[in-house]
């Protein structure tokens, strides 16, 4: 009986034992196959030996106690494993946890993982896995944690993931997933953590997700989601992190948005298209640490209750938030009680009024404070130096006045200081030299004077220094050039700096940009400049530099732009420049260069713009590269050039005879010619003197000398031929003092027939000669990218013996701004776009700002209007017609020269400042008025002389009455129709930008000259608005 029982027992047990052995053997084989697909460079799997049957002791392997020999966990995080995940992992059917995070795994996620029905944790984040998320993962019904973040997964999120009902943690961050968020995710009622951060998801946020009442963390930022934020998200009381930033979401926040978020720590809604007011109820989220609504379209005042939140970080920049008085700034006072505040960002809003001084009472823990790009006035708060932990301080782009406080030097942790585009005055404090950790220092576009402190040489970590467009004078300290840490740029342009460039400039070995243009530098460029091998951008134009162009510039192989225009360089163009293989733009115009053009310049394939006009170059013009690009090449003002491509119309180059023979030949030819010319000149002079045929006075002769021989002279006959005898068909404009003709003129400088505009002053008008000389005087002195460029001049007698005065300018193919503002009904041309209008407005403002503040002496235009704003083929604006201009501080005789006793009003009706009509003194405020009227005309489409403006109503009053709430009713109705606006927040942004421009126009055209906005401030305001236009509409 016992033997029978034993046989039955063996019969029952043996099959089970055999099955168990087969399963154990299967897990071991699966592990070894998994290892075969990997490159174990770190030896992490050295214990995985095929001869070792005790695989449960292998590194990273855990076996079940209940089911001996069955693998329940495979955990190999951060082991440096390379290769792919073998499909054999799907044979580990008892597996509950698979953790392969932070390796270098590639390939696809095996579909066989879907066979692991017991799997609860799948963590394969931070690898390089690609392909789609397998649909089979939906079979892992026991999954609680799925983390596939930081891979390169593609395709859509499978709907089937919504069936993994026990899932609590779903992280698909940092992938390349597309499509929409599946509504089925709303079925995961146990979900606590949900992140789709930084993918390419689009569509709306499913409303059903807001029913996940256990959510603590939701992050879907940095996608392309649109629509609105479902309001029920703000009722999930368990939320700690709410992140919808950097999408295309719109709409407003519910009024009770913060009423049910008691444990919320971070609110990320920045970089969207959200609008409306900021709900004061958000102040109820008392545990918040990060509060970000930046770069949206929120408007109105900041609720004062927000200041009671006391978060660590407050990000409200890039909205339309307003402040005008102390009450509006009250929210800021509340922040002075926040002892843990680290960051406050209010930049790029429309905050105005005087900055409260209690800003200096913020927590000393604050590290980042930005109020840049607003309309804030007042001074930099005294005591700002108490905020000793500040790392980043930005007040740029406001209307702040006064001096830079000396105690700012106490901020020794400061790395970024941006104070540019204000009205700061006084000297740069030497205490700025205490910023030994400073990386970026920008003080440009202010009214700072005095010298550059030598202490700035202590900023040994500085990467960018911008002191441009101030009133700095004196010699540039050598210490500035020894800042070898400068890797971005050094800009000192637009000041009154003098002296020479020292050899120490060669220490800027890592700087990418060096701009010292528009100063009073003299002397030679040191050869040491060739040590600045990282330079990409070198501009030294508009100085008084002399000597030869250094050959060492050929060492600057990274150089892309080289501008040495308007100096006094002599000698020849060094051949070494041809070694700069990446050179794209080379400007050497208006110097005293001689010799021939290096032929190798034609081999620079990257060179697309070359301007060597108005030098003394001669010889053959190359026929390769940039020399075949007529639009990017300028050779004007070089009489001795020959050859080149036929389109240049230069004379052919002659074969040079032997030098001795040549000298003899020249002597034989020139001597008789010289004698004949001298005799004829004497006879002609005597004839004109005694016959009284010449009416050219000493003042008229002086008017030509004003040009200092910078421009080639041209005869009456040449202009007569160029304009077809001043034919009516060539007439393109006429004014009080003369007419403008279109012509084709072959200048000695290039021999190619260039299209030009010839302004002929009428001899019938008694004051036309004065207007001619006034314009000559101004054009001699000024130089700016948005002022009309003169090509040549003519002062002679015409065929009837009358005085003849003419100026020749570059022809503007798009004529004047006036033409485009008031197109006739039958004209089939397009209206100017919003971007074009703002570009033109900024360029005209920059030109007037230059005339008023940076020209020496200052110039008052006195006749600004749309017809005197010319447009080239690229729609760049040029201010023209200086016939009525006045030089500030000019002598009595010169004042008479520029005056016109026959006119009671200096300017044009409608655009002329009202005080001029009452005999008031000419001032820069008059130009501000004309600019303001022009600006209003640009955006309303109405000229100041339209029939509507009568009985006390003016264009200024018309605009002021509509500002700001009814601006949409007065703007040019065709303006918005001509724009490619979508039906979204971009239309609101466009209206806001136009409103800002009209605000500038109103401020400039006030009745009282003392109340008008200066051109410097007008230009700064328009620059900020134009930047917003470019951001959204280009």
Residue 205 and residue 218: Cα distance in Å, rounded? 12
What's the pLDDT at 660? 46
Residues making up the binding site for ATP: 759
Distance, in Å, from the CA atom of 133 to the CA atom of 182, rounded to the nearest integer, reads 14
* pLDDT class of 681 with cuts at 50, 70, 90: low
Residue range(s) in the chain whose domain bears CATH number 3.80.10.10: 22-154
Query: Token match 């108490």: residue?
Result: 386
Mean pLDDT, residues 523-546 taken together: 94
With a threshold of 0.85, does the pTM exceed it?
no
Asked if residue 245 has pLDDT above 90, the reply is yes
How does pLDDT run across 428-448, given as a tens digit for each residue?
999 999 998 999 999 999 999
Q: What is the percentage of the chain residues whose pLDDT exceeds 70?
A: 87
pLDDT band for 19, please (50, 70, 90 cuts). Answer: very low
pLDDT at residue 750, rounded to an integer: 47
Per-residue pLDDT at 775: 80
pLDDT at 668: 58
571 or 689: whose pLDDT is higher? 571
Rg of the Cα trace of the chain? 38
Beta bridge partner(s), residue 178: 156
Burial of 864 (0-12, 13-18, 19+ CB in 10 A): buried
Q: pLDDT confidence of 794, banded at 50, 70, 90?
A: confident
Is residue 89 within 8 A of residue 29, CB to CB? The reply is no
Q: How far apart are CA 822 and CA 867, in angstroms?
A: 11
Give SS3 for 454: helix
User: What pLDDT digit, counting tens, does each position of 499-510 carry?
Assistant: 999 999 999 999
Q: Determine the CATH number of domain 817-1033.
A: 1.10.510.10
Tokens of 642: 């020959």
Q: Tell me the pLDDT tens digit for each residue of 771-792.
A: 777 788 788 778 888 998 888 8
Name, in order, each residue with C-beta under 8 angstroms of 834's C-beta and a sequence gap of 6 or more: 975, 979, 990, 993, 994, 1029, 1033
- The Cβ of residue 26 has, within 10 Å, a number of other Cβ atoms equal to 17
Whether residue 357 contacts residue 381, with contact meaning beta carbons closer than 8 Å, is answered with yes
Q: Report pLDDT for 952.
A: 76
Q: Which residues pair with 286 in a beta bridge?
A: none
- As a whole number, mean pLDDT of residues 713-734 equals 84
**How far is CA 69 from its chain centroid?**
65
Helix ranges restricted to H, 642-710: 659-691, 698-705
Say if strands 38-40 and 71-75 run parallel, antiparallel, or are unpaired. unpaired
φ, ψ dihedrals at 543, nearest 5°: -130, -160
Does the pLDDT at position 12 exceed 60? Answer: no
pLDDT at 985 over 80: no
Residue limits of CATH 1.10.510.10 in the chain: 817-1033
Mean per-residue pLDDT over the chain, rounded: 86
Known binding positions: 759
Round to whole Å and give the CA distance between 139 and 74. Answer: 20
Q: Is the pLDDT of residue 675 over 80?
A: no
The pLDDT tens digits of the residues spanning 79-135 come to 989 999 999 999 999 999 999 998 999 999 999 999 999 999 999 999 999 999 999
Q: Tell me, what's the pLDDT at 138?
A: 95
pLDDT at 662: 52
Q: Is residue 14 over pLDDT 60?
A: no
Identity of the highest mean pLDDT range in 156-160, 712-716, 747-751: 156-160
In this predicted structure, the answer to whether residue 694 has a pLDDT above a threshold of 50 is no
Mean pLDDT in residue range 297-323: 91
Give the pLDDT confidence score for residue 4 in this predicted structure.
36
Give the span between the Cα atoms of 696 and 693, in whole angstroms: 9
Active site members? 863
**Stretch(es) of the chain classified as CATH 3.30.200.20:** 695-810
Under a CB-based contact definition with an 8 Å cutoff, are residues 167 and 146 in contact? yes
In the DSSP assignment, the letter for residue 400 is -
pLDDT greater than 50 at residue 8: no
Report pLDDT for 703. Answer: 44
For position 697, what pLDDT does the model report?
43
| Contact between residue 577 and residue 599 where contact means Cβ atoms under 8 Å apart | no
The predicted pLDDT at position 655 comes to 65
> For residue 769, what pLDDT is reported?
65
CA 100 to chain centre: 44
Is the pLDDT at 511 greater than 60, yes or no? yes
> pLDDT above 90 covers what percent of the chain?
62
CATH class of 22-154: alpha beta
Which residues have C-beta within 8 Å of that of residue 552, sequence separation ≥ 6? 527, 528, 529, 530, 531, 576
Architecture of the domain defined by 695-810: 2-Layer Sandwich (3.30)
Q: Checking phi first, is residue 335 left (phi over 0); if not, alpha (psi -120 to 50) or beta?
A: alpha
Predicted confidence (pLDDT) per residue in 335-372, tens digit: 888 888 999 999 999 999 999 999 999 999 999 999 99
pLDDT at position 307 over 70: yes
841: pLDDT confidence band, cut at 50, 70 and 90?
very high
Structure-model confidence comparison of residues 1001 and 336, the more confident one = 1001
In the predicted model, what is the mean pLDDT of residues 312-339?
Answer: 91
Q: Which is nearest to 779 in space by CA: 873, 702, 694, 880? A: 880
**Residue 331, phi then psi, degrees to nearest 5:** -60, -30
Query: What does the pLDDT read at residue 891?
Result: 37
Where does residue 279 rank: exposed (0-12), middle (13-18), buried (19+ CB within 10 A)? buried
Q: Which of 166, 168, 170, 121 is nearest to 141 (CA)?
A: 166
Predicted pLDDT at 763:
62
């Amino acid at each position: 009986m016992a033997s029978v029982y034993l046989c039955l027992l063996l019969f029952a047990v043996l099959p089970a034992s055999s099955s168990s052995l087969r399963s154990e053997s299967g897990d071991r084989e699966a592990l070894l196959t998994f290892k075969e697909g990997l490159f174990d460079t770190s030896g992490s799997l050295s214990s995985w030996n095929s001869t070792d049957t005790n695989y449960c002791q292998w590194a990273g392997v855990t076996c079940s106690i209940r089911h001996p020999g069955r693998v329940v966990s495979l955990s190999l995080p951060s082991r440096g494993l390379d290769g792919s995940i073998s499909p054999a992992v799907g044979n580990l059917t008892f597996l509950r946890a698979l953790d392969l995070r932070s390796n270098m795994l590639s390939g696809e996620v095996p579909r066989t993982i879907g066979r692991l029905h017991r799997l609860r944790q799948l963590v394969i984040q931070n690898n390089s896995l690609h392909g789609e998320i397998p649909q089979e993962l939906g079979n892992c019904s026991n999954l609680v944690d799925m983390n596939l973040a930081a891979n390169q997964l593609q395709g859509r999120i499978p709907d089937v993931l919504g069936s993994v009902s026990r899932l609590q943690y779903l992280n698909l961050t940092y992938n390349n997933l597309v499509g929409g968020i599946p509504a089925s995710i709303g079925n995961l009622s146990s979900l606590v953590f949900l992140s789709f951060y930084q993918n390419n998801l689009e569509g709306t946020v499913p409303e059903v997700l807001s029913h996940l009442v256990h959510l603590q963390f939701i992050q879907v930022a940095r996608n392309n989601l649109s629509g609105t934020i479902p309001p029920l998200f703000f009722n999930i009381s368990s939320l700690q992190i709410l992140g919808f930033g950097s999408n295309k979401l719109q709409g407003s926040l519910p009024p009770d948005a913060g009423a049910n978020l008691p444990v919320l720590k971070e609110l990320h809604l920045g970089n969207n298209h959200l609008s409306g007011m900021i709900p004061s109820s958000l102040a109820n989220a008392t545990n918040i640490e990060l509060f970000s609504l930046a770069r949206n379209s929120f408007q109105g005042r900041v609720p004062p209750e927000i200041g009671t939140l006391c978060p660590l970080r407050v990000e409200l920049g890039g909205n339309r938030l307003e402040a005008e008085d102390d009450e509006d700034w009250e929210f800021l006072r509340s922040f002075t009680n926040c002892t843990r505040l680290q960051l406050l960002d209010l930049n790029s809003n429309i905050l105005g009024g005087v900055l409260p001084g209690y800003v200096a009472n913020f927590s000393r823990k604050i590290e980042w404070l930005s109020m840049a790009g607003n309309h804030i006035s007042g001074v930099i708060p005294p005591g700002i130096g108490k905020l000793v932990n500040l790392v980043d301080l930005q007040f740029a782009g406001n209307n702040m006045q006064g001096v830079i406080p000396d105690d700012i030097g106490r901020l020794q942790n400061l790395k970024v200081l941006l104070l540019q585009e204000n009205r700061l005055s006084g000297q740069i404090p030497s205490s700025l030299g205490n910023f030994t950790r400073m990386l970026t220092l920008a003080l440009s576009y202010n009214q700072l004077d005095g010298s550059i402190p030598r202490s700035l040489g202590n900023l040994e970590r500085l990467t960018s220094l911008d002191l441009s467009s101030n009133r700095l004078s004196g010699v540039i300290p050598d210490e500035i050039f020894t800042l070898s840490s400068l890797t971005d740029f050094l800009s000192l342009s637009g000041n009154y700096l003098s002296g020479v460039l020292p050899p120490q400039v060669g220490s800027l070995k890592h700087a990418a940009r060096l701009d010292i243009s528009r100063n009073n530098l003299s002397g030679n460029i040191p050869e040491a400049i060739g040590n600045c091998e990282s330079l990409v951008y070198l501009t030294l134009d508009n100085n008084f530099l002399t000597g030869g162009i250094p050959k060492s510039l050929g060492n600057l192989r990274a150089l892309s732009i080289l501008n040495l225009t308007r100096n006094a360089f002599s000698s020849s163009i060094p051949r070494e420049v041809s070694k700069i293989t990446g050179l794209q733009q080379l400007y050497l115009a208006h110097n005293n260069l001689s010799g021939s053009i290096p032929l190798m310049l034609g081999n620079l394939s990257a060179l697309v713009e070359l301007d060597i006009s108005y030098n003394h170059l001669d010889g053959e013009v190359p026929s390769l590269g940039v020399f075949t690009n007529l639009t990017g090449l300028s050779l004007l003002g070089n009489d001795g050039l020959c050859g080149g491509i036929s389109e240049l119309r230069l004379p052919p180059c002659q074969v040079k005879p032997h030098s001795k023979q040549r000298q003899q030949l020249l002597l034989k030819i020139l001597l008789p010619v010289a004698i004949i010319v001298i005799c004829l000149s004497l006879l002609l002079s005597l004839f004109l003197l005694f016959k009284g045929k010449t009416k050219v006075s000493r003042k008229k002769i002086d008017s030509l000398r004003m040009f200092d021989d910078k421009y080639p002279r041209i005869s009456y006959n040449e202009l007569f031929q160029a304009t077809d005898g001043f034919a009516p068909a060539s007439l393109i404009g006429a004014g009080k003092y003369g007419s403008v003709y279109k012509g084709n003129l072959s200048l000695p400088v290039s021999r190619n027939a260039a299209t030009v505009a010839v302004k002929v002053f009428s001899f019938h008008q008694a004051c036309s000669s004065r207007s001619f000389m006034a314009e000559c005087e101004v054009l001699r002195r000024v130089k700016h990218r948005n002022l009309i460029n003169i090509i040549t001049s003519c002062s002679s007698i015409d065929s009837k013996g009358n005085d003849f005065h003419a100026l020749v300018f570059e022809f503007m193919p798009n004529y004047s701004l006036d033409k485009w503002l008031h197109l006739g009904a039958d004209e089939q041309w397009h209206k100017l776009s919003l971007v074009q209008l703002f570009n033109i407005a900024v360029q005209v403002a920059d030109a007037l700002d230059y005339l008023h503040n940076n020209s020496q002496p200052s110039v008052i235009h006195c006749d600004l209007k749309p017809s005197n704003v010319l447009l080239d083929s690229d729609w760049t604006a040029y201010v023209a017609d200086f016939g009525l201009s006045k030089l500030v501080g000019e002598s009595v005789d010169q004042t008479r020269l520029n005056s016109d006793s026959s006119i009671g009003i200096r300017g044009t009706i409608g655009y002329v400042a009202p005080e001029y009509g009452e005999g008031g003194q000419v001032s820069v405020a008059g130009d501000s008025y004309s600019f303001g009227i022009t600006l209003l005309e640009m955006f309303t489409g109405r000229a100041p002389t339209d029939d509507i403006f009568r009985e006390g109503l003016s264009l200024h009053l018309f605009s002021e009455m509509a500002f700001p709430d009814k601006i949409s009713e007065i703007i040019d109705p065709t303006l918005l129709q001509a724009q490619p606006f979508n039906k979204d927040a971009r239309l609101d942004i466009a209206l806001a930008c136009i409103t800002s421009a009209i605000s500038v126009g109103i401020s400039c055209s006030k009745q009282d000259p003392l109340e008008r906005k200066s051109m410097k401030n007008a230009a700064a305001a328009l620059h900020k608005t134009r930047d917003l236009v470019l951001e959204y509409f280009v």
